[in-house]
Amino acid sequence: MEKKSTWKLMVLPVSLFLLAFGLYAGYTMWEKRSHHEARDESNLKNGGQTVALFQENSEHENYSTVGGFIREFHTKYNDTLGWGRIDTVEWEEQREIASEIISVLATVETDNTALQADFDTISNYSRTIEDGIKDKKILLQLHRYFHDLDIEFNSYNDTKDYFNVTKYKDPEKG
């Protein structure tokens, strides 16, 4: 008879623990999804007006938004140049990255003159690398442009580094 009483006493705390754990896990997943969705919608700034879009019928299936393109290339540069990898550059890989940047930016439309100036600078730096010039300073600048644009355009705040190289500034930050 005592075993039944002990079992009944354990059901409530175990149930409460499972409920609390489930709520915590659900909330955590909801928060991550909300943050990710906010970043995916990051091409909508200036009070909901579009800052930059891909031209209609452009074929860049890897990037659903201009913000996604910026985020992807920031990640590519982190993976290929960050954490000391700039000392062992794979130049052919960098030429391919530069070619893709040029190709994608040729399909971006924006009326924001500061953002367009940044994209023009990125395109010019990318052409230099695509042409076979092996200049680590240019790669460093490209990485910094994508890093700062990821912060400004996509509200990426998972870093304390900021190089202040972009002309474009997030109008929501003031």
> Domain coordinates of the chain in residue numbers?
44-173
Q: What is the pLDDT of residue 43?
A: 43
pTM exceeds 0.85 for this model: no
Q: Could you read off the pLDDT of 41-90 as tens digits, one per residue?
A: 444 443 344 688 887 776 766 788 899 999 999 999 999 999 888 999 99
Angle at 125 between CA 149 and CA 78, to 5 degrees: 50
Q: What is the pLDDT of residue 37?
A: 46
The alpha carbon dihedral of 54, 57, 60, 61 has a sign of: positive
Q: pLDDT tier at 19 (50, 70, 90 boundaries)? A: confident
Cβ distance 66 to 54 under 8 Å? yes
The encoded tokens of residue 90 equal 């794979």
Q: What is the pLDDT of residue 158?
A: 76
* SS3 assignment for the chain: CHHHHHHHHHHHHHHHHHHHHHHHHHHHHHHHHHHHHHHHCCCEECCCEECEEECCCCCCCCCCCHHHHHHHHHHHHHHHHCCCHHHHCCHHHHHHHHHHHHHHHCCEEECCHHHHHHHHHHHHHHHHHHCCCCCHHHHHHHHHHHHHHHHHHHCCCCCCCCCCCCCCCCHHHC
Q: What is the pLDDT of residue 150?
A: 93
Q: What is the pLDDT of residue 123?
A: 98
The encoded tokens of residue 164 equal 């202040």
Any idea which residue has 């997030």 for tokens? 170
Q: What is the pLDDT of residue 51?
A: 83
154: CB partners within 8 A, 6+ apart: 39, 42, 67, 70, 71
Cβ distance 45 to 172 under 8 Å? yes
Q: pLDDT tier at 3 (50, 70, 90 boundaries)? A: low
Q: Could you read off the pLDDT of 108-162 as tens digits, one per residue?
A: 999 999 999 999 999 999 999 999 999 999 999 999 999 999 999 888 877 788 8
Question: Identity (one letter) of the amino acid at 18?
Answer: L
How many residues in total does the chain contain?
174
